[in-house]
């Protein structure tokens, strides 16, 4: 039948058959660009990660340099302490009376602690420099007033034994210190209205080996033991030099202490904290009140100077901290140096993912080296100019260098401004973060969370599968 086909009378002409040729991409898998694009992206990502690790490892020697400079600073402070005077620790003054036991062999000292004691210390701090390094030293004017309750002869016999010989005429008013540097001619002791000069311990003590440490002594007028307990009043002044910190031990039933100095950054230390200290930009003033009934006011001791038992006494003191501790701040800043490398690599990688900018792996490496130099620049400029000035000088140098390099790499104003803003923001935030003492961990963690959130939001535009839209 006409019109029949597919086995009919009139077969379909061959020229009427439409041939369907499969695309080249199915005949040749290598012609498909998507797998190749994914392979290139994966290889580039691996190269960036490896280069980031190498860059961070290359920055480790900078941490060693910072540690070496910090150790040099500590050595200089020790040398200055030896030439000026070490940290001062002033013990409570005592009245020491030598005695010889009835057996004629046992010798010792009766030590009477003050019944009342009030001390006032005025520190005059200053900065001493040696080359690029410096330390805080001070001169302390210390005034002490109080009284001794000298027990009766019968009370002393119960302590040292009947028949013992007590040499009241050899009594000494004793003040034990860390160093004797700084003494002036005006320093003196007033004992019951009588002015007595300070002397070296070895000048007034019969056995010189008893004065093995730094101590001042004065010879009060004590002829014999009183028949009944009497009160002896005293007033003493002493000028001392020290380095870094000033400490006092308070041995007595009722004791008060006051320390003041024109120093805005004190740190109060000791076993007793001050009551209502005043700290302003011009200085500080602190007061302590101690009532100690754990130690007897009268005791017998074979040694003249106290040693180990002083650690159990109530202690007060202050450390003169730097307003901006240079090497501590540098060390903290260097620990965050990896953030600069990670941020710069991340920004460059986003440029490649979100735009047509292509950045060679060598250019990543040069940028990483620029970020690594920040810590080295910081310690170099902070030593002569201080931490704050050194930080901003170093940050400005790295920011200008890295921004100019980014402009040359991308040849676009937009990516260059984005990179400069991100890096400048990181420098400003890091300076703020390092200055925070109590909330640095909280603020830093929140900031990292926000940055990660921003990166996650921006990368939503990235075609991670490498497929055409």
Per-residue pLDDT tens for 206-215? 777 778 778 8
* Spatial separation of the C-alpha atoms in residues 82 and 181, rounded to whole Å: 10
Answer whether residue 61 shows pLDDT above 50.
yes
* Spatial separation of the C-alpha atoms in residues 66 and 328, rounded to whole Å: 10
Whole-number average pLDDT of the chain: 81
Lowest-confidence pick of 96-100, 161-165, 240-244: 161-165
Lowest-confidence pick of 135-139, 298-302, 307-311: 307-311
Torsion angle (degrees, nearest 10) of CA 412, 416, 419, 425 = -150
Answer whether residue 360 shows pLDDT above 80.
yes
* Spatial separation of the C-alpha atoms in residues 357 and 412, rounded to whole Å: 9
Extract the runs of DSSP E, i.e. beta strands, from 88-211.
Answer: 88-90, 94-100, 107-112, 116-130, 133-150, 165-166, 172-176, 188-191, 194-197, 199-200
pLDDT grade for 41, boundaries at 50, 70 and 90: low
Extract the runs of DSSP E, i.e. beta strands, from 192-282.
Answer: 194-197, 199-200, 215-218, 230-243, 245-249, 254-261, 266-270, 278-280
Is the CB of residue 375 less than 8 Å from the CB of residue 337? yes
Q: What is the pLDDT of residue 467?
A: 47
* Spatial separation of the C-alpha atoms in residues 404 and 299, rounded to whole Å: 77
For CA atoms 33, 39, 43, 45, give the dihedral sign.
Answer: positive
Chain center to CA of 64: 18
CB atoms within 10 A of CB 289: 14
* Spatial separation of the C-alpha atoms in residues 114 and 149, rounded to whole Å: 7
* Spatial separation of the C-alpha atoms in residues 443 and 440, rounded to whole Å: 5
Nearest alpha carbon to residue 314 among 142, 87, 91, 88:
91
Answer whether residue 309 shows pLDDT above 60.
no
Answer whether 0.75 is exceeded by the pTM.
no
* Spatial separation of the C-alpha atoms in residues 435 and 442, rounded to whole Å: 13
């Amino acid at each position: 039948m006409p019109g029949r086909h597919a086995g009919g009378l009139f077969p379909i002409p061959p020229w009427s058959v439409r041939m369907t040729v499969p695309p080249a991409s199915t005949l040749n898998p290598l012609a498909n660009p998507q797998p190749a694009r994914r392979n290139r992206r994966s290889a580039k990502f691996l190269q960036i990660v490896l280069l980031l690790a190498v860059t961070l490892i290359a920055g480790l020697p900078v941490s060693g340099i910072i540690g070496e400079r910090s150790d040099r600073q500590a050595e200089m402070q020790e040398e200055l302490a030896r030439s000026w005077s070490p940290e001062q620790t002033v013990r409570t003054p005592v009245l020491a009376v030598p005695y010889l036991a009835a057996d004629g062999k046992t010798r010792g000292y009766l030590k009477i602690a003050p019944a009342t004691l009030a001390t006032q210390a005025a520190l005059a701090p200053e900065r001493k420099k040696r080359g690029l390094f410096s330390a805080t030293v001070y001169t302390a004017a210390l005034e002490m007033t109080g009284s001794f309750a000298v027990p009766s002869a019968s009370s002393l016999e119960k302590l040292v034994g009947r028949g013992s010989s007590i040499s009241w005429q050899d009594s000494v008013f004793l003040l034990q210190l860390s160093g004797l540097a700084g003494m002036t001619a005006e320093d003196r002791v007033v004992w019951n209205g009588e002015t007595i000069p300070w002397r070296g311990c070895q000048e007034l003590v019969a056995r010189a080996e008893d004065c093995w440490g730094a101590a001042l002594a004065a010879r009060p007028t004590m002829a014999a033991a009183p028949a009944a307990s009497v009160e002896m009043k005293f007033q003493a002044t002493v000028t001392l030099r020290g380095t870094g910190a000033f400490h006092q031990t308070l041995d007595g039933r009722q004791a008060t202490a006051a320390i003041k100095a024109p120093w805005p950054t004190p740190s109060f230390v000791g076993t007793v904290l001050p009551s209502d200290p005043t700290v302003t930009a011009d200085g500080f003033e602190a007061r302590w009140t101690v009532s100690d009934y754990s130690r007897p006011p009268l005791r017998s001791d074979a040694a003249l100077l106290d040693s180990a038992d002083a650690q159990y006494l109530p202690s007060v003191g202050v450390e003169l901290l730097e307003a901006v501790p240079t090497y501590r701040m540098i060390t903290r800043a260097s620990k965050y140096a990896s953030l600069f490398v990670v941020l710069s690599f991340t920004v460059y990688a986003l440029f490649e993912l979100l735009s047509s900018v292509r950045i060679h792996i060598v250019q990543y490496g040069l940028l990483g080296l620029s970020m690594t130099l920040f810590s080295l620049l910081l310690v170099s400029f902070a030593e002569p100019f201080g931490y704050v000035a050194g930080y901003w000088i170093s940050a400005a140098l790295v920011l200008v260098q890295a921004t100019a390099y980014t402009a040359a790499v991308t040849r676009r104003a937009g990516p260059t401004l984005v990179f400069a803003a991100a890096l400048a923001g990181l420098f400003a935030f890091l300076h703020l973060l390092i200055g925070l003492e109590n909330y640095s961990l909280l603020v830093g963690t929140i900031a990292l969370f926000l940055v990660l959130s921003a990166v996650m939001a921006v990368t939503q535009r990235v075609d991670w599968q490498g497929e055409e839209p």
